[in-house]
Amino acid sequence: MTRTPSAGTITIAGKAVSRLGFGTMRLTGPDVWGDPAERDMAKAVLQQAMHTHGITHLDTADSYGPHTVEEMIHETLRPYPQELLIATKVGFLRPRPGQFIPHGHPQHLRSSVEGSLRRLGVERLDLCYLHRIDPKFSLDDQIATLNALPGEGKIGHVGLSKVSVDDILRVSKELPIAAVQNALSMTDCDDPALDLCRDLDIPYVPYRPLGAGSLAHEHGVRTPLRWLLAHGHHIAPIPSTIQPRHLEQIVAAVAGEV
């Protein structure tokens, strides 16, 4: 790695990582299904993020592809450096392109973690999010399943995605929450969990920070990202792109932020 993005660092799941992370959902085909049309470009962007720009926080999920991106990360970035945090997420079924169905059955969550371990080629997932809370199953059972896995050495820390204040408060009584990943951007800016995470010292990882590209098109990259970073040092955005030039613009946009 050559340098760390100038937005500074943040501690997530016990690791001091670059505050500017990289989301990998766009490294797939249309509707987040299968391989991207330009697979070599997707692999080049992963290399660029880590080795050129020093981004040490990669965010992925077993549902991206499904499985495509976890396999690509393994193929492209191993051996993983000690400072790299790969966060993944479990809790969806992907029956067809564009369809994401929450599925929180404990056995599904456990088998999904096992699958992510194999695809990423690791013995332990540093950070594993419950991608969605599934209302069809007991939240206590979903959390108990993930909470058992650190003791088995299969995951290091547990995170939550797309959750409310009540969800965070309830789960935090059962286990330490390593990070919360919710949508936050200039057009999706009302999330009470933002302040709660600050109060509880939980890293807040905004997904879709550029509004799936719409904000970058309207305002450029700099304004939306600096708007996010200004909300506090617990903010760690994970913009996503498959374009090397766009990644360069993203890194440049946070230059000077500390």
How high is the pLDDT of residue 142?
97
How high is the pLDDT of residue 188?
85
Query: Strands 15-18 and 9-12, how do they pair?
Result: antiparallel
Give the pLDDT confidence of 79-91 residue by residue, as tens digits. 999 999 999 999 9
What does the radius of gyration of the chain's CA atoms come to, in whole angstroms? 17
- Would you place residue 211 in the very low, low, confident or very high pLDDT band (cuts 50, 70, 90)? confident
**Residue 204 catalytic?**
no
Rounded distance between C-alpha atoms, residue 158 and residue 131, angstroms? 11
- Would you place residue 258 in the very low, low, confident or very high pLDDT band (cuts 50, 70, 90)? very low
3-state secondary structure the chain: CCCCCCCCEEEECCEEEECCCEECCCCCCHHHECCCCCHHHHHHHHHHHHHHCCCCEEECCCCCECCHHHHHHHHHHCCCCCCCEEEEEECEECCCCCCCEECCCHHHHHHHHHHHHHHHCCCCEEEEEECCCCCCCCHHHHHHHHHHHHHCCCEEEEEEECCCHHHHHHHHCCCCEEEEECECECCECCCCHHHHHHHHCCCECCECCCHHHHHHHHHCCHHHHHHHHCCCCCECCCCECCCHHHHHHHHHHCCCCC
Summarize the confidence of residues 117-138 as an average pLDDT.
98
Tell me if 191 sits within 8 A of 220, measured CB to CB. no
Summarize the confidence of residues 129-150 as an average pLDDT.
96
Summarize the confidence of residues 213-218 as an average pLDDT.
73
Say if residue 227 is exposed, middle or buried (CB neighbours under 10 Å; 0-12, 13-18, 19+): middle
- 213 has pLDDT over 70: no
How high is the pLDDT of residue 3?
60
- 205 has pLDDT over 90: yes
Tell me if 109 sits within 8 A of 146, measured CB to CB. yes
How high is the pLDDT of residue 194?
97
How high is the pLDDT of residue 168?
98
For CA atoms 237, 197, 60, 26, the dihedral sign is negative
CATH numbers and ranges of domains, the chain: 9-253 (3.20.20.100)
Assigned token pair, 5? 């993005």
Give the pLDDT confidence of 15-56 residue by residue, as tens digits. 999 999 999 999 999 999 999 999 999 999 999 999 999 999
Q: How many residues does the chain have?
A: 258
Summarize the confidence of residues 57-62 as an average pLDDT.
98
Summarize the confidence of residues 72-77 as an average pLDDT.
98
Say if residue 201 is exposed, middle or buried (CB neighbours under 10 Å; 0-12, 13-18, 19+): exposed
